[in-house]
A and B are shown apart, each in its own frame.
Chain A
Amino acid sequence: MWTKATVICLFLSAIVSVPETVVGQQQMLGTDHLQLIEIRGKQRRDRIDGLTGVARTAPAPALEPLNPPRSTARQPAYDLHPNSGTLTPSGESIEFLGMEELQALIQSSIDASRVSEAQAKWNSIEQKLDSNLQDIRQLSQRIESVSQTPSQSVSSGTVASSISHLAPGIPRPEAQITPTSSPLQSSAVPWLTLTLSAFLVSLFALTLSAYRLGLSRASHLDRPTAPPQHVPTTVPEQYMPESSELRPRRTRGLAWPHEDAKAGATVLPLPVSQQEEIPEPLAPNIDLSTDDSATILSFETFSDQHRDEKKQKQEVNSALMAQILQDNLNLSNKAS
Chain B
Amino acid sequence: MPAQNKDVLMSNKPQCVGIDFGTFKTSIVASNGNRDSIMTAVGLPKDHIARGMLGCDEVFGDRIGQVRTAVNLVRPFDCGALKYTDSSAAGLSADEVNRRCKAAKSIMGEVVRRVELGTGPRYAVIGAPSQASDEAKNVILQAASPHFDAVMIVAEPFCIAYGFGHLVGTLVVDIGAGTIDVCPMFGTYPKPDQQYSASVGGDAVDRELLSLIQQAHPDAQVTLNMARQFKEKFGTVSDDQERAVVVMPVEGVPTEFDITDIIRDACRVLVEPIIEGIHKTVAMSDPEFQAQLRGNILLGGGGSQLRGLDRLLETGVEKLGGGKVTRVNDCLYAGAAGALKLCMAMPAENWEQLRSQNAKAA
Contact = CB atoms under 8 A, between A and B. Distances in A.
A317 B137 contact: no
A168 B151 CA distance: 104
Interface string A294-334: 00000000000000000000001111111111011101111
A335 B167 contact: no
A332 to B, nearest CB: 5
B138 A335 contact: yes
Interface residues of B, number: 24
A329 B350 CA distance: 10
Nearest to A334: B134
Contacts of A336: 360-361
B104 interface: no
Contacts of B152: 324-325, 328
Interface of B: 134, 137-138, 141-142, 151-154, 167, 187-189, 342, 345-347, 350, 353-354, 357-358, 360-361
B134 A321 contact: no
A317 B345 contact: yes
A291 to B, nearest CB: 16
A328 B354 contact: yes
Contact of A331 (B153, B167, B187): B153
Max chain B Cβ within 10 angstroms of own Cβ: one of A324, A329, A335: A324
A324 B154 contact: yes
B361 A329 contact: no
A319 to B, nearest CB: 7
B16 to A, nearest CB: 14
B21 to A, nearest CB: 15
A334 to B, nearest CB: 6
9 closest cross-chain pairs (CB), A and B: A336-B361, A323-B189, A325-B350, A328-B152, A335-B138, A316-B187, A332-B357, A320-B189, A321-B346
Contacts of B151: 328
A332 B350 contact: no
Nearest to B165: A313
Interface string A172-216: 000000000000000000000000000000000000000000000
22 contacts: A316-B167, A317-B345, A318-B347, A321-B345, A321-B347, A324-B342, A325-B346, A328-B151, A328-B152, A328-B354, A329-B354, A331-B134, A331-B138, A332-B354, A332-B361, A333-B361, A334-B138, A335-B138, A335-B141, A335-B142, A336-B360, A336-B361
A54 B137 CA distance: 107
Contacts of A322: 350
Interface in A194-240: none
A332 B151 CA distance: 10
A58 B137 CA distance: 112
Given A316-B167, A316-B187, A335 B357 contact: no
